[in-house]
Structure 1
Amino acid sequence: MDDIFQEVLALRRRYGLSWAGAEALHFKLADMLTDKDALICQEEDAETMLLKDYDVGNLIDGPEDMNVPLMAFRYFLRRFLMCARCCSVCHRLQTGSTYQATRAFVCKSPSCSTRFYREGVGRCLEYAICTQPTSVDTLVSLAYTASFYEKLSPLPVGLDLRTGPRNTLVDALPEKQVSYMTYDEVPATETSVQICEATLNLLKQIPPIATLKALIDASRLAPETASSRLRVQDLGLPVPEAAWVLMRWVVFSSPMRIEEMRTPMERVRSIGPQWRQFRLTCASQQAEDGFTEAIRDARTRSTNSKVYPSAYGFHGSPVFNWYSILHHGLWLKDIANGRKFGDGVYFSKMWRIAEGFAKTAARAAQWPNRAFDIDQCLALAEVVNERSAFVYDFSTHRWPRKKKPTDVAKHVFVVDKTDWIIWCVCSRKCGIVNAHVLSSRFLMVKGAVADPERGLDDCTAAYGAMGCSGTSHFVKQDPKHVLTADGGAAVLIPEFH
């Protein structure tokens, strides 16, 4: 009784086992602990390192005793301090990074993804619609365009979304008329195409964000719904459940949160007022770790990197690529515009050059219920400033004497190490800028209002005077490699504190 009763009883009640089953599980766990499984040791060591960041003394790992309230408080304090490092569904501690998330996230488990997006565990879609309608509109539009060109990545699998014959939505047909097929069951050769087609069908049925915002605001003022948590499914709209689940995935599956910058003090300077600008936060923890480590290593090898550890550059890409870029960053697996200066990611110090590679999207490829058009996308990226290690840079490249270099050759540089890149997104009818300083990034979008009656005040960027005076601090750029906008004006990137 003194040795194993409490543990066996806890296992029996927790997992619904018989006494024999509970005892077998208890002894199996005991065998694992006897040999100190490598995974257990790894997790213990990782948590020990993380706890050094918190000045809690012996409050968490003090002497063991049978003081149950004290032990419960220690466990509660441990979970509270580390809640930003835990999956919001299964609550498992993610120890692979030194960075903490600034909003709820899920681990890679498919079951956690299903609960997070389908059952509404975690972030509130309704809150995002009311507080950041422009951001929601932009993400849905980018996902729609990517699906139209069959470039959607990642695909919305693991959400228990189902399609019927010819990708007819199962929610729109009587159950007897539908042959159900989950995304994970579609033959591998047809998976991507079918999912993209079904995604288009679902996104078309989502009403304009302005309409959703107005209905949510009105419902919250109504006495009968003011005290309850309102869901978009409860608005009484003829929209299938699968469309709401997909919308939630589109808005929240990206590791970055986009927030519109509305005042001139917050905006990147010298970028035209026709460009909407969004700040990106909460980038991938792994990307942050890799970038910080690369900066640290570059400072030990380069004198210039000690003073100017980061370089900045614009990158242009077709609109249909940007939903994927928000998820993954830039990949080197696809070659879209050749490799004249070598294999890698191409950047330009001149806005005009990068803009030439930002291909427009057809009107038919844009979300029908959008508040504004998204015609082009650019990105402003931060790169580790060790130019001798770049695949190509004019300042380190031996150019033939008899051959006159072009503007492209002078202002383009190529980086093949993706962990050296962190994003600031700009969009010219959608552009993206990412500034690593203090974990701030930017997304800039240029596009006319698609329908004045559908637009939102929140969807109208604050096109104030760009040359305003103030106390803004700007990122320090290498004076030999300053970014320039149209007309040759220097681009100034605000530094957030």
Structure 2
Amino acid sequence: MSQLHCCAAFMSLKRFNADVRAVRTRIEDDEISGVVAIERGDSDGEVVVTVAHEKLPGLLPIGLLAQNFDNYPNDNGFLIFTASENAATSVVSALEDLRDYTSGMKLLETIMALSTRLDRALRSVDGDEDIIMEDPHDPHGFDDSMEDDPYDDFTDLEFGLSPMRTKSQHRPNSRLASGILRRIKPDLRVARDVGCKIGVLDGLQLSSASSIFSLSIRASELCLSQEALEAWDVEISDYIILLVRFEGLYPFAEQLLEQPCANFNVDFRFGKGAKYKPSPAQARAAFLTEASRNHDAPEAKSQTLKDHQGRTFEKIFISNSLEQFLNEQCLSMIKLRLQNPAYSWDDANEHLRNMSSRAWDDQPPAKANSDREAAKSEPKSTTKTRSTRKSKGKQKATTAAGASKAEEEPPSPKPIPNFLVWDAAASRPLEQCSVPLIIMQFAVHYFSRCTEYCLRCHQHIGTEFEALKPFVCSNPLCLFQYLAMGFGPSIEHEILTQPYVVDLLVSLCYSSVQFPKANYMGTFDQGSPQYRIREFPCGLHLKVPDPYNVVVSTTIAASNTDTAATSAVTAAANEVTTAPTTFIKVLADLRNGALTVPINDLGRVASDTWVMLREGIRPTYGEPAYYHVRVKYIDHQTGTLEVDVNALEPLRAPGAVEMDLLLYDTEFDDLDNKGKAESMITILRSLPPISSLREYLIKNPHSRLRSYAGIPPAAVTLLEWIVASNRSCILQVTPVEDPHVRDRNLLESIKTRGQEAIPSLEDSVQFRFAQGAPDKELRFRRALREVNPQNSKYPTIFAWHGSALSNWHSILRYGLDFKHVMNGRAFGDGVYFSQHYSTSQGFTNPDATNPWPNSALNISSVISLCEIVNAPERFVATSPHLVVRQVDWIQCRYLFARRSPSQARIPPQAFAFPSDPARTVLGPDDNALLIPLKAVSTRKQQMPKAPSSSKRAHETTSSLGETDEEQVSDLEFLFDEDDSSTPPAKRANSARDSSVDSATARQVTTQRPLTPPQTDFRPGTLDLASLPRLSLPSWADGNSAKRLAGDIKHMQKVQSSTPPHELGWYIDFDSMENMFQWIVEFHSFDLELPLAREMKKAGVTSIVLEVRFGRDYPFSPPFVRVIRPRFLPFSSGGGGHITTGGAICMELLTASGWSPGSTMEAVFVSIRTAMSETERPAHLQTTETSARMFDYGANEALEAYVRFAGVHGWVVPEDLRETATQGGRPG
């Protein structure tokens, strides 16, 4: 028995030590609230945990001693104590009470329960209620007799049900039952099997009052176009993450059908992240209310955009709309689909909208199971179901993901992600349905197809044109809520991702309301003046200060001091006036944040509201100054207001100054045009610089802009309208030097697109229209199809249009037209264009509007490069200007905001849009303008032909390798020892040996086809001994090795199954000794290319390249360089993206343009395409076969790469120098 006892004791010690390590990992990952450290004690089975809490004066050490250590954990309990002499009575009491309930609990469970109980005890110290400690095994505080039946896990009480339970009722004392945990795990395993990654973030223990888990999927698996990803600011390597938090009752399928949805206290958050799950602190912070953030909740303070493991959770542009949809209707729609398996998501949404939820939600699902059985008995495709209902007289086709399709839709539907092909709501028996998986499919369906649905009511919008950004349906209520109630695009997301596009929109709006509109004769319309803005922001219930304020309410007020002067002032202030009042005379000491107001007028001012102060015209300044202040506190005894000043302009006078106080009490809609224009100018002046708003949002993640203390609510409303009313998708191309930025590091996260910039316009900030307003874009494409045949070589042309700065706000919303005569119409009615930049630039400054004072752009003029249907014979005029009457033939593609100082030089672009030689557009230097191919979204962009790759459909983007390992703790939760399920291997491939044996062991055995006669290249003839051979790096066992293992396997398969003359590249895998160094030969170029002819003449059959991979691959690009032969440098007529030192320098291979989703096959295709370009073709340095040629060296390639990237403004990878200078031997 002694041997058995020793063995048991040893196993207990081993398990206890393992649990200590597991707890330490959880603490390091911030997964146990309030616990900051764990250390071993003086004896076996003893640990000391350190607790931090906002109500503790310092750190509190708490000891835990196992009382029956040899039988840990089954027959063990913990003695819990603290050596601190200053511990509060409530803390000591909580520790003593918990001690009695730790029998059989593991160390982690004990510490989690300790954290929860201490937090509750400490928070109750200042309250009136006593601390109530419950048995953690009895989640509802009932007596022990309720635990007699260990199999009674599915009773109402175990699930926290109560006849009066509603979603709004908070039950902090509810705990998870073991039966719920046993049901959650298989549900999450099903979701994992389908393709989700599962993250356990908070709770999910028997002692948990609230639990949070995440489901995530790579953006690369959602069949999203590159244009959509760019417009939505989602990287292909990002994870799309759904956070689920529930308290008490978990909504598994049977319970969801039996109970009203209001019984389930479930909340959702939707966003993206760099890893498959955020940190626990980030997850908890995502669920904080605005009030909690404003009161500095600990979770808000602990959250950062990126933790030490690179984890993030960021909202995306549709997060607000989708989260509201999830929280309000998701469970109800799932319930409808479980009751009616033939329903699609669209059917369920329509059903829910057409009847009261109370009418069906509380009814027992009498037919649910029979309907499911009937549905399962019918033959059903794994990818499609057919809805048995009709909507608006049209039968709908339904995918398994629940997406309805009208029969008249185009024959080539949008691809369905594999994740949505299998319908989790209709393809399994009810008891096997995974509700978390159904919720995730719901979220992914509406996210990936968001442009097909109304942002507010989420009904399907039938359209033949796919917009890049979602909008609302034709329902006026949806449009009102979109513009007026913040249900449009997230203004916070726009500021974070596109701050200078927002700056541009505000600047243009500000200019549009500065002066009344004059006609081309210089006269103004009679009556109410008209402004450049065509539509004022009416219907927003916007309250503004009265812009006219001609009647004074009272005379100046003074503080209640006992002097004759102030007494006289006070007496005058208290005189009753019968005239209408608009502003109040006050004495303002803004440096000390105090206003003195007449006692009689105090009732007109409310605390926590904004008012405007006007300092009268002073000789020194010549104009009044305006200050917007927030009233914090009103002292009714002294007539003093305590205020916060939004001092966007410096205070002009020290001490107390007489000012006019104007209330935000005038309805904007009731004003005439002049009053509306002046009010908008006043409000926009109170708007801080966009970079200041962005800095606030970065430092306060998930906060709303309205919580920013330095901005009046009216300014937020107007800003939301400005952004929401612009339906064009505008992207910033070139960087901006922002004088308002205080933290220069924050500029690095702003994306620019230098490869899309147009040279010779360095004095302007460039913006590109990824897509115009959808309705305008649709009409333009229709016109293009009708006017020009499909095989037209030049279906469109480009030309300049210049217009006054004040016109561009309306141009962005309504397009270019000729409703108003601005500069005369000497050549007929129509929109005027010029193919000479200087001509159009002359029309950009006819008015003297001032830029928005808080703008970083400081715009002086705007000019646009427009795409026009190429039908000059139908133009009104073609000389000296192009005059186009058909407004649907016109789309703006670039916007150039001119400012000072000049921007950095923009290099020429490699791939320019082929323009009609008869209609060439000229730049400021009167040379032909080089327009990047990305400027044209109306037809397929034809890259310069690369014959070696055109005969085979190369995948430019493929599924990412599993580079983000699932954490052991997550797998342990899903497949713990109490379950009969077997834990699978981790999704990420295990580290592999990088020797040649390991590489060849994975080689595809398919016989490589013999070299056909179409090429003179012969594999295996390269002398590898003459090339540099690198030693295996010391860090070759990380994630980069795992990704490279998959890359090598894929490239071997491609090479072995494709004829060499079609593939165009070759790697000798049999001779590969170091997986971090590839030697690649490019061959079989089109003989019509200058490069191919020169190679033939020089007797060169291949271009030898070296690819070096760093420790951060695939999150950092490889270093690619030419070894031989040498090429002409760019300055001597060379090209092909080959630098003077031989490095391949394309933005794709820099930190600016690289994506972890890029495959090496796609990289090779891009490099060959660049080498094959005809605009600036690559040329060999010499074609003499007898000339002695020297190989390029790695160091000269590195230096040339850095120089070239610097010229283009591309970001050099952090690990570049380490990657490019790996040690090795010459051969």
Cα distance change, pair 480–92 in 1 and its aligned pair in 2 (3 A): same
**Superposition map of 1:438-449 within 5 A:** 442-448=894-900
SS in 1 for 2:866: strand
Structure 2: distance between partners of 1:47 and 1:76: 21
Q: CA deviation at 1:66?
A: 12
Cα distance change, pair 216–75 in 1 and its aligned pair in 2 (3 A): closer
- Asked if residue 417 in structure 1 is aligned to residue 886 in structure 2, the reply is yes
Q: Match for residue 533 of structure 2?
A: 152
Q: Match for residue 294 of structure 1?
A: 783
Q: Match for residue 391 of structure 1?
A: 876
SS in 2 for 1:306: coil
Specify which of 192, 214, 238 is matched with residue 695 of structure 2: 214
Structure 2: distance between partners of 1:367 and 1:266: 27
Specify which of 257, 265, 275 is matched with residue 764 of structure 2: 275
> Conserved in 2, the CA contact under 8 Å of 1:139 and 1:250?
yes
> Conserved in 2, the CA contact under 8 Å of 1:330 and 1:418?
yes
Q: Match for residue 792 of structure 2?
A: 306
Structure 1: distance between partners of 2:828 and 2:405: 40
Q: Across the two proteins, how many residue pairs are aligned to each other? A: 409
Q: Match for residue 406 of structure 2?
A: 47
> Conserved in 2, the CA contact under 8 Å of 1:391 and 1:416?
yes
Structure 2: distance between partners of 1:339 and 1:360: 16
Specify which of 238, 248, 262 is matched with residue 720 of structure 2: 248
Q: Match for residue 342 of structure 1?
A: 828
**Superposition map of 1:128-139 within 5 A:** 128-139=494-505
- CA distances 1:324-370 after superposition (whole Å, capped 9, x unpaired): 1111111221111111111111110111111111125536x321212
Cα distance change, pair 212–309 in 1 and its aligned pair in 2 (3 A): same
One-letter amino acid of the structure 2 residue matched with residue 322 of structure 1 = W
Cα distance change, pair 41–167 in 1 and its aligned pair in 2 (3 A): farther
State the TM-score, normalizing by the size of structure 1: 0.70
Structure 1 unaligned residues grouped into runs of 5+: 18-35, 221-225, 395-408, 424-433, 435-441, 450-460
Cα distance change, pair 492–92 in 1 and its aligned pair in 2 (3 A): same
SS in 2 for 1:163: strand
Q: Match for residue 24 of structure 2?
A: none
Cα distance change, pair 81–488 in 1 and its aligned pair in 2 (3 A): closer
Q: Match for residue 680 of structure 2?
A: 199
One-letter amino acid of the structure 1 residue matched with residue 931 of structure 2 = I
Q: CA deviation at 1:264?
A: 4.8
State the TM-score, normalizing by the size of structure 2: 0.30
Q: CA deviation at 1:313?
A: 1.0
Cα distance change, pair 200–59 in 1 and its aligned pair in 2 (3 A): same
One-letter amino acid of the structure 2 residue matched with residue 247 of structure 1 = L
One-letter amino acid of the structure 2 residue matched with residue 166 of structure 1 = P
Structure 2: distance between partners of 1:179 and 1:369: 22
Q: CA deviation at 1:486?
A: 2.8
One-letter amino acid of the structure 2 residue matched with residue 267 of structure 1 = A
Q: CA deviation at 1:118?
A: 4.7
Q: Match for residue 140 of structure 1?
A: 506
Q: CA deviation at 1:67?
A: 7.9
Specify which of 913, 917, 924 is matched with residue 486 of structure 1: 924
> Conserved in 2, the CA contact under 8 Å of 1:167 and 1:198?
no
One-letter amino acid of the structure 1 residue matched with residue 815 of structure 2 = G
Q: CA deviation at 1:278?
A: 0.9
- CA distances 1:268-327 after superposition (whole Å, capped 9, x unpaired): 1233x11111112232222222211222222239xxx81110011111111000011111
Structure 2: distance between partners of 1:287 and 1:482: 25
- Asked if residue 102 in structure 1 is aligned to residue 102 in structure 2, the reply is no
One-letter amino acid of the structure 1 residue matched with residue 532 of structure 2 = K
SS in 2 for 1:392: coil
Structure 2: distance between partners of 1:180 and 1:66: 59
> Conserved in 2, the CA contact under 8 Å of 1:43 and 1:95?
no
> Conserved in 1, the CA contact under 8 Å of 2:500 and 2:857?
no
SS in 2 for 1:377: strand
SS in 2 for 1:486: coil
- Asked if residue 91 in structure 1 is aligned to residue 581 in structure 2, the reply is no
Specify which of 708, 722, 740 is matched with residue 235 of structure 1: 708
Relative contact order (alpha carbons < 8 A, sep ≥ 6): 1 or 2 greater?
1
SS in 1 for 2:756: coil
SS in 2 for 1:280: strand
> Conserved in 1, the CA contact under 8 Å of 2:759 and 2:908?
no
Structure 2: distance between partners of 1:106 and 1:354: 36
One-letter amino acid of the structure 2 residue matched with residue 289 of structure 1 = L
Structure 1: distance between partners of 2:358 and 2:718: 33
Cα distance change, pair 124–308 in 1 and its aligned pair in 2 (3 A): same
What is the percentage of aligned positions where both structures have the same residue? 27
Structure 2: distance between partners of 1:67 and 1:154: 55
SS in 2 for 1:476: coil
One-letter amino acid of the structure 2 residue matched with residue 198 of structure 1 = S
SS in 2 for 1:393: coil
Cα distance change, pair 491–140 in 1 and its aligned pair in 2 (3 A): same
Q: Match for residue 172 of structure 1?
A: 611
Question: RMSD between aligned alpha carbons?
Answer: 4.0
SS in 1 for 2:783: helix
Q: CA deviation at 1:153?
A: 2.9
- Asked if residue 370 in structure 1 is aligned to residue 713 in structure 2, the reply is no
Q: CA deviation at 1:90?
A: 1.6
Q: CA deviation at 1:102?
A: 2.2
Cα distance change, pair 12–257 in 1 and its aligned pair in 2 (3 A): closer
One-letter amino acid of the structure 1 residue matched with residue 884 of structure 2 = V
One-letter amino acid of the structure 2 residue matched with residue 479 of structure 1 = P
Q: Match for residue 257 of structure 1?
A: 729
Structure 2: distance between partners of 1:278 and 1:12: 46
- CA distances 1:156-193 after superposition (whole Å, capped 9, x unpaired): 1232213354368995279xx96955444x37xx2x33
- CA distances 1:178-214 after superposition (whole Å, capped 9, x unpaired): 6955444x37xx2x33322221121110012232233
> Conserved in 2, the CA contact under 8 Å of 1:360 and 1:375?
no
Q: CA deviation at 1:493?
A: 0.7
Cα distance change, pair 357–161 in 1 and its aligned pair in 2 (3 A): same
SS in 1 for 2:538: coil
Q: CA deviation at 1:383?
A: 0.6
SS in 2 for 1:90: coil
Structure 2: distance between partners of 1:12 and 1:309: 51
- CA distances 1:28-57 after superposition (whole Å, capped 9, x unpaired): xxxxxxxx99x6449999722158413569
SS in 2 for 1:352: helix
Structure 2 unaligned residues grouped into runs of 5+: 1-338, 341-347, 361-389, 398-403, 516-530, 550-581, 583-608, 613-630, 632-661, 735-752, 935-940, 942-1227
Q: Match for residue 813 of structure 2?
A: 327
Q: CA deviation at 1:420?
A: 0.6
